[in-house]
Structure 1
């Protein structure tokens, strides 16, 4: 038994050091060398204090700000409770929630009842923490934000264009607008 126990114990120690200490240190080191900003959470500082992360959405409800995609996370945009609703597209509760959100979106943005509402304005993402909205969503909100700030819609449309991120890797997904970055640019006007 001793002949088998000592090699097994030695292998446990060796692999614990390699996989439990060495590999995490290697990955952390590479992350810090090559992708320092992302490895540290893509934190955004303003006036010397951290105001958020470019990777996690935040709740904005005032009319003078662009509003994010709805969050289905338990506590709304709380990274500790990240989740989607897990309700399917034919679920009655989901359909009612979407219908209520469409009505609220149209009301908030003073839209005609026939105006098509972008899907990202009324459905949560899989994580519930999506930091971006579609360009169409931002453009529909621009008149509300312009009126609340006494700015021209054209100025906000240019600001949206300046804060639009292209497709991932040049071909994945759709162009999107990071709501936190857009609202920070808006506050700098």
Structure 2
């Protein structure tokens, strides 16, 4: 007996559903699991976990911080690049800061709110990080468009005719009163500190370059977070910048630290994509194994 067309169609759909479920819901996942257990691939499938003394201490694919309980850098360790993922290197909250190059004005702290720190723009974040790295490594941490105090050197400049004409007023937007502005005058007008809650939208936002070197000593990856916030590597330049500090903390010579940096430096992907990088976790573990800090 011939089945009705509608019933035949439903039975065909059911057979297709069963076949696809078996193939793609069971067979294919099991095949991928089996492939992932092949020697040489298992470690990658498990997350490239790194062990120390039988204890998992991290992943070769995810960066982490090397700081004390107060968030201060531990001098005996190489420091990773900044991270905007959660509280830092959180794989469940991988993200960038979403701040762009035009984000140069900070949100000032409210003096009426206890412990309010305001919100830094991208420029001030870069300036503050560069200053901190410079102090930690004993080098010049200055950058263009940054004040000596480590905030964005940005003025709101008011002109007589709106955007043109003589300057009538200038305000240092990222330096809250009673701070002393990074420049005393601008085109003959005394520069003011910024006051919380005051509207400065009528001024022309004007970044001021200053006299910092064109090529800062502190590399860019030391002051900016990656797109994922999880980068396990730093640039070779940033690693060598930290070599003297780590060597002093561990009683090593700088050349010996440099050899370890070279050992844990990987080249460009496929030989031409990106730049060489240094895996911070693996480098720090090698230092602990071969040159432990004496108490």
User: Which TM-score band (shorter chain)?
Assistant: over 0.9
**Residue 99 (structure 2) aligned to one of 87, 105, 110:** 87
1:167 to 2:272 alignment: no
Q: Tell me what 1:103 maps to.
A: 131
For residue 16 of structure 1, give the secondary structure of its aligned residue in structure 2. Answer: helix
Q: Cα distance 1:82–1:13, how it changes in 2: closer, same or farther (>3 A)?
A: same
1:28 to 2:33 alignment: yes
Cα distance, 1:53 vs structure 2 = 0.9
Cα distance, 1:117 vs structure 2 = 1.5
**Residue 15 (structure 1) aligned to one of 17, 20, 23:** 20
Distance 2:23 2:251 in 1: 60
Structure 2: state its 5+ residue gaps: 1-5, 68-73, 105-120, 143-212
Q: Tell me what 1:158 maps to.
A: 259
1:50 to 2:56 alignment: yes
Q: Tell me what 2:284 maps to.
A: 183
Cα distance, 1:142 vs structure 2 = 0.9
Distance 1:76 1:38 in 2: 23
Distance 1:52 1:35 in 2: 18
Give the TM-score of the pair, scaled to structure 1. Answer: 0.92
Cα distance, 1:6 vs structure 2 = 1.9
Number of residue pairs the alignment of both structures matches: 189
Q: Following superposition, which runs of at least 4 residues in structure 1 exceed 3 angstroms of deviation?
A: none
1:119 to 2:220 alignment: yes
Deviations 1:90-143 (CA, angstroms, capped at 9, x unpaired): 222222211111111111111124552111111111111100001100000111
Structure 1: state its 5+ residue gaps: none
Distance 1:83 1:20 in 2: 31
Q: Which has the higher helix share?
A: 1
Cα distance, 1:89 vs structure 2 = 2.4
Distance 1:74 1:15 in 2: 39
Deviations 1:57-111 (CA, angstroms, capped at 9, x unpaired): 1111211100001111012112111111122222222222111111111111111
Q: Radius of gyration: which is bigger?
A: 2
Q: Tell me what 1:66 maps to.
A: 78
Q: Tell me what 2:112 maps to.
A: none
Give the TM-score of the pair, scaled to structure 2. Answer: 0.61
Q: Cα distance 1:17–1:75, how it changes in 2: closer, same or farther (>3 A)?
A: farther
Q: Which has the higher strand share?
A: 2
